[in-house]
Amino acid sequence: MFVNLVHFPPIKDGKDAQFLEWSTSSNAKLATQPGFIRRLLLKPRGGGNYVAVVETESQEAFMAMQASPLHAEVHQQAVPFLNGNPVPSFYHVIIE
């Protein structure tokens, strides 16, 4: 399994509900991609920025999803809600 953590920048004022709607709808779209397992949205308990956890069957499946027109569309739809760019980090699951 391959995991991508996406550290979102701050959400623009008044756009939190729209960001959450985008997250839900984009999860449904990305779920159609080969090798996609799931994407979770996390909110820190003490405040701060959202983090997404994206799980795919392999690094190759993740990279194919990233290169797809669907991913470009989903990413572009999030731009109006964000104060900056998301920062990704990548991991291979070694123990389950």
pLDDT digits (tens, 9 = 90+) for 46-96: 989 999 999 999 999 999 999 999 999 999 999 999 999 999 999 999 998
d(CA 61, CA 52): 17
Q: What pLDDT score was predicted for residue 3? A: 98
Residues in the chain: 96
* Strand-strand pairing, 36-42 and 51-56: antiparallel
Identify the CATH number of the domain in which residue 75 sits.
3.30.70.100
pLDDT of residue 14: 96
Structural domain boundaries enclosing 88 = 2-92
Total tally of structural domains belonging to the chain: 1
Supply the pLDDT for residue 96: 86
